[in-house]
Amino acid sequence: MSQQQHRTGPPYAPTTASVGGLPSVIPDVPVSAVFIAMYVAFAAINMIIYQINSRRGHKFIPSVALFGFCMARILTLVLRIVWSTRHTNVSLAIAANIFVNAGILIVYILNLIFAQRILRARQPALGWHVSLRIIYRALFVGVACALVMVITALVLSVYSLNSYTIRACRDVQLTSGTYLLVFTTLPVFPIAAAYLLPPSPAKESFGEGSMRSKTIIVLLVTCLCTMNSGFRVGTAWSPPRPTNDPAWYHGKAPFYVFNFTIEIIILLILVSTRIDKRFYIPDGSSEPGHYSRRVDSSTESVRDTSVEKEGKSEERTLCDV
C-alpha cells in the first residue's frame, strides 16, 4: 500500500465540526495542564479521605469512584495535549473523544444513588420496595449500554464512508446522549417523592448533617450535571456543520466551560461538603431500619468496628440497590 493510500484509508478524519474543535498547542496545552493539576489535587484528596475513613472502619466507596473519575479526566486531558501535537492521528482523536464522553457518567450514577438514600430514609416503604430496586438496576444497565453504543457508533463512523452507516451512527449517538440527559434529571424524582408524600412514621436518618443539606447537595449537583449533559445533547442535535464553518458552541471556550469547569465545580461541592460523612450508611444496609441501626445490618453487633468488618464487601453499599 502506498503512502497516499495509507493517508486516505480508514480511520477517516471527520468532516463535520465538533465541540472543542481541533486542539492546538496554544491555548489547549496550558489550559489542559491547569485542569490536570486540579484533577490531580481532587484525586489525591478523595483517596486520602477514603484511606483515613477506611482505617477507622468507615469505608465509603463513592470516594474511590470519584478518585477513578479524576484519573479518567487526567487521561482525557493528557490525550488532548498529545492530540494537539499530532493532528493527523485520527485514532488518537477517537480515544480523546471517547474519554470526554465517558468520565462524567460516574458522577451521574453517584448522584442518583445519593437521591435514593434520601428517599429510603424519608420513605422506607417506597425506597426499599423491590420494584424500585429493579428500576434502579435497569437504569444503571441503560447507562452502560448507552456508553457502549456511543463508543461503537463513534468508532464505526470514522471507519466508513457509507452515508447510511454514518447517518445510523449519528442516530445512535443522539439516542444515547438523550438517554443520558434524561438520566441526569432523575434524582429530582426520588427527592420529590421523599418530600411530597405524607411523612412516614418509620423515617430514618443517616450520616452527618441535616436531611435538608443533603437534599440541597443532590439538587445542586443535579442541576450542574443536567447543564453538562444538556450542552452535549444540544450541540449534538444541532445541524452538522463543516469543519471550516463551526458554530460558536464548537469553540474551545464552551468546550472547557461546559465540560471540565462544571466538573471541577461538582468535585468542589462534593469534597467540601464532606459527602463521605453526610451520605455514609452502615455496611450491608438492605432493608428498612438499617440506616438508623434499629435493625442490625449484619450478624455482628452494629457497634463492631473491628478489622474483620473493615474487610467486608462494600459493593452493595455503593450500588445500594
Inside any domain, residue 320: no
pLDDT band with cut points at 50, 70 and 90 for residue 65: very high
**Domain total of the chain:** 1
Least confident interval from 41-45, 54-58, 213-217, 293-297: 293-297
Residue ranges of the alpha helices (H) in 186-300?
A: 188-196, 211-237, 252-255, 262-272, 275-278
Query: Does 33 reside within a domain?
Result: yes
DSSP bridge pairs for 242:
16
Q: Grid coordinates standing for 49? A: 479521605
User: Is the link from the previous residue into 30 a cis peptide, with omega within 30 of 0?
Assistant: no
CATH of residue 68: 1.20.1070
Instruction: Tell me whether residue 319 is in a domain.
Output: no
Per the CB < 8 A criterion, the answer to whether 260 and 35 are in contact is: yes
Please report the sign of the dihedral spanned by the C-alpha atoms of residue 309, residue 310, residue 312, residue 314: positive
Q: How many CB atoms lie within 10 A of CB 213?
A: 12
| Cα separation, 167 vs 141, whole angstroms | 25
Q: Which three cell numbers stand for residue 185?
A: 434529571
Q: Is the pLDDT of residue 271 over 70?
A: yes
Owning domain of residue 81: 15-278
* Per-residue pLDDT reduced to its tens digit, 106-145: 999 999 999 999 999 999 999 999 999 999 999 999 999 9
Residues in contact with 234: Cβ distance below 8 Å, sequence separation at least 6, in sequence order: 249
Q: How many CA atoms lie within 13 A of 316 on its CB side?
A: 11
Backbone angles phi, psi at 277, to 5 degrees: -100, -40
Is residue 172 over pLDDT 90? yes
Q: What is the torsional sign of CA 130, 136, 142, 144?
A: negative
Determine contact, residues 90/158, Cβ cutoff 8 Å: yes
Share of the chain above pLDDT 90, in %: 67
Tell which residue, 174, 169, 177, 171, has the closest CA to residue 152. 169
Q: 35 and 264 in contact (C-beta within 8 Å)?
A: yes
Mean pLDDT of the chain: 87
Q: Looking at the domain assignment, is residue 57 inside a domain? A: yes
Omega prior to 254 cis, within 30 of 0: no
pLDDT at 266 over 50: yes
Partnered with residue 16 across adjacent β-strands are 242
Whether 252 is in a domain gets the answer yes
Per the domain annotation, does 286 fall within a domain? Answer: no
Provide the pLDDT for residue 311. Answer: 42
CA 222 – CA 112 distance, rounded (Å): 9
Mean pLDDT of 40-45: 98
Find the range with the poorest average confidence among 74-78, 124-128, 310-314: 310-314
State the pLDDT at residue 294. 65
Residue 313 resides in a domain: no
261 occurs within a structural domain: yes
